[in-house]
Amino acid sequence: MALTKVSKELFNTDTVFAVDSIGGKYGSSSSPISIAVTVGTKTAAHPYNGDGSSNAYFLDGIEAPALQLNGADNVTSDSGYYYRFDQSDSTNSSHPLRFYLDADKTTAYTTGVTTNGTPGSAGAYTQIDVDEDTPSILYYQCSSHEYMGNYALVPASNVINHTEALISMPTATTTLVGTDTTDTLTNKTLTTPTVTTPVVNAGLQLKNGATSAGFIEFFEDSDNGTNKVTLIGPASTADVTITLPDSADTLVGKATTDTLTNKTLTTPVINAGAQLKNGATSAGFLEFFEDSDNGTNKVTLIGPASTADITLTLPSSDGDSGQFLQTDGNGVLSFASAGGAYNSWLVKTSAYTALAGDQIIVNSASAVTITLPASASAGNTVIVKATGGGTVTIGRNSQNINSTAADATLFSGNAVQLVYVDGTIGFLEI
């Protein structure tokens, strides 16, 4: 086949020659388009005159022409165009023709390229299968000498290449973006990218794989080291949204030691204990506000200035109407009734644990147990009057009664006054 000159000027002033495909004809694998290759002395018409070898390739008698190699876009089948560069002429000896991604032969192109025999011998050739995946520009050069050939354009290519770079063209109508242009990217997957100060509109999805969650890494200053903080998406049963603060701040972790300022905790659960601290000139405090629909008044409990720690233990019951809190001298609080040495008379119909100073009337037809105070001090008094017909048991509550480690019995109609003496006598009947 002869080379056909086309009316298109590309790449400076080179005339591009299309290898014959007139009438839809193309070279198949069994009957490729054949181009006769010879080697002669380079002339001034050579695009690389003065560079590299003094020899040049002549294709069908034309010195180092720029070529146009058609691809599979003009073919009804999926096969490409096959071009055979026949090097059987003896002038090809020691001049193997090969294809490269650059004129300097930095990167060889071998996809779809086959060779046969020894250049300069019968049957020797280099053949290339050109389709839409062939780079848009190739260079045919001698593998043993420099700058003997020229370039070959592949107009049907989906792959743009420059020197050693290959760019696959999109398979749908779209707009390409540049390195320094302002563009909007849609439905893109970035694998280990390095992006400098990107602007992401709407949202950003960080995905990983089937066995690991999406993550984002925040590295410290490079002049400090290579440590990083990694945020990882948790395994969850539903979408989770975390809203960041709207001002400069530092986030805290659930297991870190931090100071929280101006925080409102709704029904918090505090395990073990809570410390209420203030500052150098004011004590810790706790404020109890009234209902917001009533007003903004509050009751404040303030820690006093003290020379030692103080512990107050609250009662285990809610007490009776008119009673007040009293201490046993060791910080244990209990409810007591007002009224001199004795509390006001109490009427009980069921079991009750007495407080120091209680005066109790048991009015029940059934048996009732009145238990003495657990922690008594010398002089503490309890009076019990049984009425109503039921027997009253005086529970000693781990203390002696009349020097005996046993409960006492009070029958209906009787009364007893018990005074605590010490650990040996316990409560003494008066």
Q: Please indicate, yes or no, if residue 192 is contained in any of the structural domains.
A: no
- Label residue 80 exposed, middle or buried (CB < 10 Å: 0-12, 13-18, 19+): buried
* Domain range enclosing 105: 3-168
CA 269, distance to chain mean position in Å, is 28
State how many domains the chain has. 2
Residue ending a domain, among 168, 197, 223, is: 168
**CATH at residue 106:** 2.60.40.420
Q: Please indicate, yes or no, if residue 302 is contained in any of the structural domains.
A: no
Distant-in-sequence, close-in-space partners of 67: CB < 8 Å, separation ≥ 6 = 3, 16, 17, 18, 19, 59, 140, 150, 151, 152, 153
Distant-in-sequence, close-in-space partners of 186: CB < 8 Å, separation ≥ 6 = none
Phi-psi region of 41 (alpha: psi -120 to 50; beta: other; left: phi over 0): beta
Residue ending a domain, among 168, 199, 228, is: 168
DSSP 74-107: G-SSS--EEEEEE--SGGGTT--EEEESSTT-SS
CA 147, distance to chain mean position in Å, is 54
Q: Please indicate, yes or no, if residue 199 is contained in any of the structural domains.
A: no
- What is the Cα–Cα distance from 91 to 38, expressed in whole angstroms? 6
3-class secondary structure, 242: coil
Q: Please indicate, yes or no, if residue 34 is contained in any of the structural domains.
A: yes
Kindly give the confidence (pLDDT) of every residue in the chain, 430 residues in length, as a single tens digit, with 9 standing for 90 and above. Answer: 455 544 333 444 455 666 644 334 568 888 899 999 999 999 999 999 999 999 999 999 999 999 988 875 544 455 678 999 999 999 999 999 999 999 999 999 999 999 999 999 999 999 999 988 889 899 999 999 999 999 998 887 777 775 555 566 676 788 888 777 888 778 877 777 777 777 777 777 777 777 888 888 888 998 999 999 888 888 888 988 888 888 888 888 888 888 888 888 888 888 888 888 877 888 888 888 999 999 999 998 888 888 888 888 888 888 777 677 878 777 888 877 655 567 788 999 999 999 888 999 999 999 999 999 988 888 889 999 999 889 999 999 999 999 999 999 999 899 999 999 999 999 999 8
What's the alpha-carbon Rg for the chain, to the nearest Å? 51
The length of the chain is 430
Kindly give the pairing relationship between strand 368-371 and strand 392-395.
Answer: parallel
Tokens of 376: 């008594």
pLDDT given at position 366: 93
Q: Please indicate, yes or no, if residue 178 is contained in any of the structural domains.
A: no
The answer to whether residues 167 and 176 touch, using CB atoms and an 8 Å cutoff, is no
72: which DSSP letter?
Answer: G
**CATH at residue 343:** 2.60.120
378: which DSSP letter?
Answer: T
CA 231, distance to chain mean position in Å, is 4
Q: Please indicate, yes or no, if residue 212 is contained in any of the structural domains.
A: no
Cα dihedral sign for 42, 44, 47, 49? positive
Residue ending a domain, among 121, 137, 168, is: 168
Q: Please report, to the nearest 10 degrees, the dihedral formed by the alpha carbons of residues 384, 388, 391, 397 taken in order.
A: -30
Q: Please indicate, yes or no, if residue 309 is contained in any of the structural domains.
A: no
